């Protein structure tokens, strides 16, 4: 299967991209990698990947190019630029973008690729960096049936849950809906737990109540006890990226005339956290930022 797919080019070896590329290496795929960080490239070459001399070289050698980049700006430069993937790829090349970008970017990639006899798949990622480490990522995929079948072995090597959401563009739009709830839930959790702290309630007992009612959510039940509530704010997904995603969500909603008043308020709360130097912290640390402003003790569960 791996040999039938051909060489896979992977661009973007950050906190999410590096483990995903590593999983492809471990599963025996022929991988060529590129990143602006030479240390990330060295890590992958030690795992068995080849280092591309640049994007044009990688595009010419690959049958599939995967991008995992910070924003629309980088994706458009890497894929659509004069030295980008489409300018140097061969007819039949498939570009699979796993970044969280503006829907208009995905639409532009699809249109540009189609005009060159190439194709695009959008496959943004759900879950956290720790899931990427263990090969348990969730993918929301927008693709034709034929292209979905083509990339399925790659997705199965990097993740454990794969949803084919529809045609090109449905993956990223589903991701924005998902992230809207996931990130806004963090802000709601922060406000509720700050209030609990001010009331002087026992955090463990408060959580036990919340977990047994409709007030619970995935962040509060699955992510927070392992992150901020245990004192670990090292980033799985940073406050900076959460703020960026909320901005993308709001812009995309404005484009289709959907008002998002609660999401807009949450973005400003994340702006506040960034202004207080929480940018590089895990997005669950939004509760720490709020408690700092209010002069409240940060919520922490006892060890064990």
CATH 1.10.1040.10 in the chain is located at: 174-294
CATH code at 2-168: 3.40.50.720
pLDDT tens-digit profile of 82-131?
999 999 999 999 999 999 999 999 999 999 999 999 999 999 998 888 88
Q: Could you report the per-residue pLDDT of 276-304, keeping only the tens digit for each?
A: 999 999 999 999 999 999 999 999 999 86
Q: How far apart are the first and last CA of the chain?
A: 45
Q: Is 189 helix (H, G, I), strand (E, B) or coil?
A: helix
Report the C-alpha gap between 65 and 8 in whole angstroms: 6
pLDDT score of 3 more than 70: no
The pTM of this model reads 0.92
For 189-216, what is the mean pLDDT?
97
In whole angstroms, give the CA distance from residue 52 to residue 50.
6
From-to residues of CATH 3.40.50.720 in the chain: 2-168
CB 32, CB 52: distance < 8 Å: yes
Do residues 31 and 10 make contact, with C-beta atoms less than 8 angstroms apart? Answer: yes
Q: Which residues sit opposite 163 in a β-bridge?
A: 140
Check 175, 227, 244, 257 and give the catalytic one.
175
Read off φ and ψ for residue 138, nearest 5 degrees: -110, 135
d(CA 14, CA 240): 15
For 28, 41, 50, 62, 96, the CA distances from 47, given in Å and listed in that order, are: 11, 10, 9, 19, 22
Q: Does 205 qualify as catalytic in the annotation? A: no
- The strand pairing partners of 65, in sequence order, are 9, 95
Name the token pair of 244.
Answer: 């960026």
Containing 267, the helix (H) or strand (E) segment is helix 261-275
Which CATH number is correct for 174-294, 3.90.1200.10, 1.10.1040.10, 3.30.200.20, 3.40.30.10? 1.10.1040.10
> What was the pLDDT predicted at 128?
80
DSSP three-state, residue 294: helix
């Amino acid at each position: 299967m791996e040999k039938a797919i051909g060489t896979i080019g992977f661009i973007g070896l950050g906190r999410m991209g590096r483990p995903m590329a590593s999983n492809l290496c471990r599963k025996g795929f022929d991988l060529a990698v590129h990143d602006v960080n030479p240390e990330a490239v060295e890590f992958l070459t030690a795992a068995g990947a080849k280092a591309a001399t640049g994007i044009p070289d990688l595009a010419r050698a690959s049958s599939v190019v995967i991008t995992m980049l910070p924003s629309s700006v980088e994706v458009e430069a890497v894929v659509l630029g004069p030295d980008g993937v489409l300018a140097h790829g061969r007819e039949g090349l498939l570009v699979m973008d796993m970044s969280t970008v503006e829907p208009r970017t995905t639409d532009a990639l699809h249109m540009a690729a189609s005009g060159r006899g190439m194709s695009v798949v959008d496959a943004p990622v759900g879950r956290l960096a720790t899931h990427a480490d263990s090969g348990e990522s969730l993918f929301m995929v927008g693709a034709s049936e034929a292209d979905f079948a083509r990339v399925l072995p790659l997705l199965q090597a990097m993740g454990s849950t794969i949803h084919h959401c529809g045609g090109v563009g449905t993956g990223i739009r589903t991701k924005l809906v998902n992230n809207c709830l996931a990130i806004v839930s963090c802000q709601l959790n922060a406000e509720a737990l700050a209030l609990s702290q001010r009331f002087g309630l026992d955090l463990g007992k408060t959580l036990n109540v919340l977990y047994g009612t409709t007030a619970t959510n995935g962040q509060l039940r699955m992510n927070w006890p392992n992150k901020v509530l245990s004192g670990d704010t090292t980033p799985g997904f940073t406050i900076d990226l959460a703020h960026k995603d909320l901005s993308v969500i709001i812009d995309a909603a404005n484009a289709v005339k959907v008002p998002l008043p609660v999401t807009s308020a949450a973005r400003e709360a994340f702006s506040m956290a960034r202004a207080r130097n929480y940018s590089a912290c895990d997005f669950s640390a939004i509760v720490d930022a709020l408690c700092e402003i209010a002069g409240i003790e940060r919520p922490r569960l006892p060890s064990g």
